[in-house]
Amino acid sequence: MKTIFFGTPEYVNPLLDYLIDNENIIAVVTRCDKPAKRHLQSLPSEVKQNAIKKLIRVFSVEKIDDAVFISNLSAIKPDVGIVAAFGKILPKKVLDIFSIGCVNLHFSLLPKYRGAAPIQRALIDGETETGVTSFWMNEGMDTGRIIFQKKINIDKNDDTNTLREKLIPVALDVLRETVVKIKENYKGEEQVGNPSFAPQLKKEDGKIDVEKTAETIFNLIRGTKPWPGAFITIHNSQFTIQNLRILDAQIIQEPNYPCSDLLPIGSVVALHKNIGFVLKCGKGYLLIKSVHPPSKNVMSAWSFLQGHNLKIGDKLD
């Protein structure tokens, strides 16, 4: 089968490597080169860099429905497209180019978490399991017939980075099974169950609401790491710090803070030496252990509170 791989970020390179080693990859499609931070030159995507090293033809596209791109793609007469974290929805006129069809590897247990941020949204929602699903693509958003699906458990301390790392070997297993089923002309099965959705995160999605439970805030920290980050504002008599990102926290299982009943939700109710400070939430308590102040380096919450003279009773919102 003449196969084309669609992908962009570094973490899907193992999938591309497997296809290069075991299948007939004739081209790779990825995003256009983008300017690097603080540099004038543009940088290719990690997938493009990998493909070039492996001497694979690369299409870098800005608009997926560009007429020249579609003409060039049609000219090589591909059989199958394999899509993983490409970042763009393939329109019908692209899907129709492939004689067999296009398959997407999606990092959720479809029909749950259709959309661009399934890993992050599953963590934010406090899910205990997730997985990878391969499906035949159609014009809908992650609505096609399922080819293969494999699930794993989510650890309570997983964040976006650690969970993604765990899902890559799962995705490789799913890819292997999917290629076999494609060659067997397997048409897949309709998705069953109530769908949920995982839209791309926006900066404002990281805003912490102290009225929420400690568990809800803890899950937000996990799911918004590394971007946009869960952030909060601190007030005391001497300063206000906005957009303080909370990078690491721990739910306090057996709180014993005598002053907490006298302090409002959102208050600092305790200081843990060499660790950090405790936030009173709408329900429960969070020990804040690592923070990233604006325009400064990541630091322990203990170093932060010492540097800013944070005290019991100071307010976060």
Q: Would you state the structure tokens that stand for residue 274, as one six-digit string?
A: 């060499």
Reported as a single tens digit per residue, the pLDDT across 114-161 is 999 999 999 999 999 999 999 999 999 999 999 999 999 999 999 999
Strands 58-61 and 24-31: parallel
pTM: 0.96
Which H/E stretch holds residue 219? helix 214-223
Count other C-beta atoms under 10 Å from residue 200's C-beta: 11
Beta bridge partners of 81: 4, 102
Q: Would you state the structure tokens that stand for residue 86, as one six-digit string?
A: 């490409």
Reported as a single tens digit per residue, the pLDDT across 91-100 is 999 999 999 9
What local confidence, expressed as pLDDT, does residue 38 receive?
63
State the burial class of residue 28 (Cβ atoms within 10 Å of its Cβ: 0-12, 13-18, 19+). buried
Mean pLDDT of 251-262: 89
For each of the domains in the chain, give its residue range(s) and CATH number, in order of start.
Answer: 2-183 (3.40.50.170), 203-316 (3.10.25.10)
Mean pLDDT lowest for which of 38-47, 53-62, 284-293?
Answer: 38-47
